[in-house]
Every structure is written in C-alpha cells, then in structure tokens.
A and B are shown apart, each in its own frame.
Chain A
C-alpha cells in the first residue's frame, strides 16, 4: 500500500465491474439457497427479538410478529447470517479502502441540520413499506427482478418513480 492510499479514501469501483461482481454474488446465492439476497427479513426478525424481550405478552399476541417468536428463536434464520455477513463484508471493505469515518453524513442533500429527522423518517417509511411489499430493494427489487418476477419489476418501477419525485422536495444546502 503506498502513501497516497493511506492518506485519502480509495476511489469507488467502476459501476460495471461492481455490477458484474454483484451479479456473481446474486447468482451464487440462487444456486446455493434457491432464493436471492435480502435485508428486511432480518430487521423484521430483529424487531420480533426486541419485542420478545421487552414486551413478551404483546409480541406473542401480535398477529404479525407472534409466529416468529413462537419457538423463542426469531433470529434463527439464514437471513440473519447473511446480514451479519453484509455488515462484516462492508466493514472489511471500508477499512481496507480507508473509508471508515464517524460522521453524520448526507446533510448537504438531505435536510441540513435536520438530517437526523430525515434519516429517521426515511427509515420508518422504508421499514413500513417493506412489510407491505414483503421485501425491500434487495429482496424484492434486485432478487425478484433477477427471476423475472412481476412483483420485482413492479416494486422497482414505483420505487424509482416515487424516489425521483420525493427527491425534488429535498432542498440542497448551498
């Protein structure tokens, strides 16, 4: 590693290269597991896990989360290991590229000093929406489109259309 790469972050990969490598990972996942990659399968189970420990009666009685805590192990699923892997892989990549920096990012385009509010509100919308669709950008958009599913293409269509419109309302800080 030369001096320059230690001083400033390494450049991001060319999108074509990154896309092909992501395609290889996605294809391998289908070959090994029969399904694609995901994310909110885990956050839903994590929500059930918190519920089981903090509000056990209400969580057990809940129609949506109750089934996941029946056996007492809501996190016992492939998607949990996959998301733990995502976190670890991202950490290794960011570390090797010199891109780890503790900061509140995105202020310039996403709300300025109100950035914590936009991050929280955006997360709530995405978390709620992913449960209606039973999937997120990875699970339904990326993986669903790779198997040519109508649900995957539909998800991507409204995802990008509404994202484009919503983005017009975010004021850029000069």
Chain B
C-alpha cells in the first residue's frame, strides 16, 4: 500500500472512531480526570490490550516480525516529564494533540485555539532546545525498552496482566460513573 493511501485510510479510521467515541468533546475527555466519565480509560485500555494481544498472535503466526516494530527508547525521565506536561495540558486545555484535531473538525473553536497553543509550545521548545536538549534523553534505562525485557517474563504474561487490569478498569469506572453524574452524552450542551 502506498504511504499516502495508508496514511489517509488508517488516519481516517482513527479520526472516525475517536469522534464516534465522543473524544472530540472536551467535557467528555476531561470527565476522566473528574472521575465522572471513564470513557477515555475504557477506550484506551481496550485498544491497547487488543493491539498488544493481536501483535502477539500475529508474531506467532509469522505475519509480523517483532524485530521490525518501532519500540520507543527508554528515556523514562523524558517520558515521565513529557507525560506530566501533556497530562496537565489535557486537564487545563481539554484535549490532547490528536483529539484537538477531532474537536476542531466538529466545529469547536476552543480546539482550534488548543492547536495554535501546540504550535506555540513547539516553537518555545525549539527556541530553547540547546539548553534543554538533555531533558529529552533523561533517565535512560539502558538494558530494556519493554516491560517483558525488564522483568524477564514473556509478552504473554504481561498481556494477561493487562487484560485483568482492563477488566478492573471497566468495573471500577462503571461503579464510579454510577456514583457520580455519569458519562457525558452527545446531547448535552
């Protein structure tokens, strides 16, 4: 498949599903942090577990070569610091980078402002890059990029643990949704 076509098709499906899940709506997205709407956790956990188990099966069948998959390097300090800033940006701004595109396409001006903020944040980063370059390689774990490598266990055992964790997230989330105002629907203003 050509790169342009695969990008458009896979991206198109990504955007379609995000919008259908309600992830263009900042009230729904931030409901996860108010613990009243657990859709973000539920959807993300399900997708991660589905893809992880799927990759394991496809590797066993010889359809996917695990060595050719991109595994992000273990700069865990950088990942932690970046995750903290993106999490704060999400809680304050109402979106993460990908969902702000979805929000803008459904007519949300605040999502467009968030996107402009993303570009400004990137310019600020690039502007002071020489002095903060070391942050991007902070906290390197040299001997392992993945959890199975670090713990010397099989991918299968991590996958099983994640399935159990996902079931737990659904149970806990649905219980907390019942105790609070509950998930944000598409019909709320």
Closest 4 CB pairs of A and B: A122-B93, A123-B117, A133-B82, A85-B11
Binding site for B on A (CB under 8 A): 8-13, 15-16, 18-40, 43-44, 46-47, 50-51, 62-65, 78-94, 97, 99-106, 108-110, 115-116, 118-138, 140-142, 144-164, 166-167, 170
A122 contacts B90, C-beta separation under 8 Å: yes
Given A35-B70, A125-B86, A148-B147, CB of A86 within 8 Å of CB of B123: no
Main secondary structure of the interface of B (DSSP, over half): helix
B8 contacts A85, C-beta separation under 8 Å: yes
Given A90-B105, A126-B85, CB of A120 within 8 Å of CB of B11: no
Which one of B9, B33, B85, B116 lies within 8 Å of A164 (CB-CB)? B33
B6 contacts A33, C-beta separation under 8 Å: yes
Told that A93-B17, A103-B108 touch, could you supply 8 new A-B pairs with CB distance under 8 A?
Answer: A15-B39, A18-B17, A22-B21, A89-B18, A119-B117, A147-B69, A159-B90, A166-B88
Which one of A65, A138, A155 lies within 8 Å of B83 (CB-CB)? A155
Binding site for A on B (CB under 8 A): 1, 3-4, 6-22, 24-28, 30, 32-35, 38-39, 42-52, 54-55, 58, 63-64, 68-76, 78-111, 113-127, 129-130, 132-133, 135-136, 141, 144-148, 150, 155, 158, 170, 183, 185-187
A86 contacts B101, C-beta separation under 8 Å: yes
Can you name 12 A-B pairs with beta carbons within 8 Å?
Answer: A13-B22, A16-B170, A26-B47, A81-B11, A88-B15, A89-B11, A105-B111, A108-B27, A109-B27, A146-B47, A156-B83, A164-B35
- Complex Cα gap A123–B47 (Å): 25
Which one of A30, A94, A129, A134 lies within 8 Å of B106 (CB-CB)? A94
B46 contacts A15, C-beta separation under 8 Å: yes
CB closest residue in chain B, given A138: B98
Chain B contacts for A65, CB-based, 8 A:
126
A137 contacts B12, C-beta separation under 8 Å: no
